Chains A and B, each alone.
Chain A
């Protein structure tokens, strides 16, 4: 079955450590996204990538980094510079990239919950 796999589902980190969240999709989608979810604040866009080897900052990119070396994979690194990293992180993908004027339907993974101790 096609879909998006995020791992790990739960992750605990000590302050000062970097952690990397994995996101893999087998939907052959061009675009991939990382969102952060906090209670009462909805989803906020961290980074997105419309094509391999290219990505753009979203609304809250500070303290995060990404790479897009393969179409299927879009890992997110939460660095020690992120001041409040405890959150639920959601990865998504969609079929098309830049300038698409149709409905851009996002498919989401099941999420990764990061807790900083």
Chain B
């Protein structure tokens, strides 16, 4: 079945780049997403990428997709304390509405 995996924690110094990784198993995935969750709140969409792309950049965010290895990453440049949150990777297979979410990676940014 479908499975999406992420490491649970990442700690970075303010100003450095953060890289959050995600692996998925469903080869029919068509869209892959990154969501951000701040403490006690719902999830906010950061960005998504179609499976025929290998990179997408949006200001400080860069998404890299390696479809062969089923690996997705989110790079945050110049990480700030306001970036501290849980980041969820999700995937959607072809012709379905359901998103499968990973366990989330808690990013902690220290000064």
Question: Complex formed: what's the CA distance from A97 to B97 in Å?
Answer: 7
Please determine whether B98 and A42 come into contact, CB atoms closer than 8 angstroms. no
The interface of chain A, by Cβ under 8 A from chain B, is 4, 6, 31, 35, 40-43, 45, 48, 50, 58, 90, 92, 94, 96-111, 113
Contacts A97-B97, A103-B50 given; indicate if A42 touches B42 (C-beta within 8 A).
Answer: no
**Cβ-Cβ contact count across A and B, 8 Å cutoff:** 67
Question: Complex formed: what's the CA distance from A104 to B99 in Å?
Answer: 8
The interface of chain B, by Cβ under 8 A from chain A, is 4, 6, 8, 30-31, 33, 35, 40-45, 48, 50, 88, 92, 94-95, 97-99, 101-104
Contacts A50-B97, A98-B97, A111-B42 given; indicate if A42 touches B48 (C-beta within 8 A).
Answer: no
B102 cross-chain contacts in A, Cβ below 8 A: 42
Please determine whether A42 and B44 come into contact, CB atoms closer than 8 angstroms. no
